[in-house]
Amino acid sequence: MHESIESGPDGEWVVRRITGSASTKAYRCPGCDQLIRPATPHIVAWPTVTLSFTGEGIDERRHWHTGCWKARHRRRR
């Protein structure tokens, strides 16, 4: 499992790359609102600085398609 810190206009993120063999559940990608099916390589990301009151950025982790994660700066919210 490869984990790194990525910085962008939307802040700093802990980014973990998940292999297909490590992916056993379906998740909904926040970038495209489509399912990430089991056995699909993808990204899990959460902010280094929490946005919630829990104090844990990992509570804000989201599973993204790799392409959606890379394109998130170009998307309109």
State pLDDT tens for residues 33-63.
999 999 999 999 999 887 666 656 667 899 9
Beta-carbon contacts of 62 under 8 Å, excluding residues fewer than 6 positions away, are 30, 44, 45, 46
Average pLDDT over every residue of 4-28: 93
Domain with 35 in it = 2-74
> For the whole model, what pTM was predicted?
0.83
Number of domains in the chain: 1
Averaged pLDDT score across all residues of the chain? 88
